[in-house]
Amino acid sequence: MSELLKITDLHVEYDTSEETVYAVNGVDLTVGRKETLGLVGETGAGKTTTALSVLRLLPHKIGRISKGSIIYDGEDLLAIKEKVFKKYRGKRISMIFQDPMTSLNPVIPIGKQVAEVIKLHNPDMTKAQIESRVDEMLEMVGIKANRKKDYPNQFSGGMKQRVVIAIALACEPELLIADEPTTALDVTVQAQVLAMMTDLKERLGTSMILITHDLGVVAETCDKVAVMYAGEIVESGTVEDIFGKGNHHPYTIGLFGSLPDLKDDKPRLSPIEGLMPDPTDLPKGCKFHPRCPHCSEKCRTEQPEVMVTNGHSLRCHLFSKEV
């Protein structure tokens, strides 16, 4: 699988008048063509900030990439002029946001909202061609084309998210970033929307970064997984590596321990004690050490290096060479 996106040593900071938030702290990620990467971790781990960095949508004057590179299809995304980059956003790289209720404009019919993105990236298309593409996209996501004049409030949450997906896929992007695309939906609708996204992705040959905290969704949808904590990737590998019986980062073990298991008759779950550290004042050494049951003196003072074995990476002293 050849590489489409390669993020190296990405650091992102948010500056406020009083302090600096260290949101992403040296992330390395790759996404191959037609591949789906699951980015998992608790709220505040830096998943969305990583995605927004790829699309260069960090909040103006507050968020900045302080270090690192993002190479997309051989091009340095951070070096491209904004005017040129606008042609990437929505056309080559698209994003689905978490809440369909706020992604759509409530006073514009849904068909017009799908047409907008098609028109923007295909200035040579005639009105009839755009209309036919709108119909095709709506039908593709399971909405009858004759409903294109309806407004977002005439649709359920799941149907609205289908419209958002139609907009994101209208220009057949090579990379789709889906940020918790089903979190705001009912469980049964979640399954339908996910199945539809996977099907469309296969049909259009799109690569995907799926941001989620739902490990069940990752197991069903992804080829590779990266587990994020306090702005770092602490473990990454194939789905088999992460869900298999081999070595795991204590944080990954904690994430799995927080899930109910129907086959296990344990009376209680084993949640990860404590909270994600304050990103303005990150702990020294391993950022997970205040919550880790295996914490040693070395963990408190020394940042662990990433160890990679057959593509499975772990950032933990337990697996460093000296141990």
Residues that bind ligand SF4 (CB under 6 A): 249-250, 286, 288-289, 292, 294-295, 299, 304, 316-318
CA 292, 296, 302, 304 torsion: positive or negative? negative
Measured CA to CA, the distance from residue 158 to residue 288 in angstroms comes to 36
DSSP 180: S
SS3 for 79? helix
Residue 78 or 307 having the CB closest to ligand SF4: 307
Angle, in degrees to the nearest 10, between helices 127-140 and 157-169: 130
Sheet containing 93-96, strands listed edge to edge, beginning at the edge strand earlier in sequence: 93-96, 175-179, 207-212, 36-40, 224-229, 232-238, 312-315, 306-309
CA 258, 262, 263, 264 torsion: positive or negative? positive
- To ligand SF4, the closest distance from the beta carbon of 247 in angstroms equals 11
- To ligand SF4, the closest distance from the beta carbon of 133 in angstroms equals 49
- To ligand SF4, the closest distance from the beta carbon of 275 in angstroms equals 15
Measured CA to CA, the distance from residue 286 to residue 294 in angstroms comes to 11
- To ligand SF4, the closest distance from the beta carbon of 295 in angstroms equals 4
Give how far Cα 206 sits from Cα of 106, 164, 183, 187, Å: 28, 16, 22, 25
Residue 105 or 301 having the CB closest to ligand SF4: 301
Residue 87 or 294 having the CB closest to ligand SF4: 294
- To ligand SF4, the closest distance from the beta carbon of 315 in angstroms equals 7
- Judge contact between 68 and 239, C-beta under 8 A: no
Residue 97 or 319 having the CB closest to ligand SF4: 319
Please identify which residue in the block is written with the tokens 């591949």.
Answer: 35
- To ligand SF4, the closest distance from the beta carbon of 290 in angstroms equals 8
Measured CA to CA, the distance from residue 210 to residue 179 in angstroms comes to 6
Residue 293 or 311 having the CB closest to ligand SF4: 293
- To ligand SF4, the closest distance from the beta carbon of 285 in angstroms equals 7
Burial 142-166 (b: 16+ CB within 10 A, else e): ebeeeebebebeebebbbbbbbbbb
Within 8 A by CB and 6+ apart from 159, the residues are 143
SS3 for 198? helix
- To ligand SF4, the closest distance from the beta carbon of 321 in angstroms equals 14
Residue 113 or 236 having the CB closest to ligand SF4: 236
Residue 133 or 289 having the CB closest to ligand SF4: 289
Residue 12 or 272 having the CB closest to ligand SF4: 272
Q: How many CB atoms lie within 10 A of CB 85?
A: 16
Residue 200 or 272 having the CB closest to ligand SF4: 272
- To ligand SF4, the closest distance from the beta carbon of 294 in angstroms equals 4
- Which tokens in the block code for residue 140? 């593709």
Cα Rg of the chain, angstroms: 21
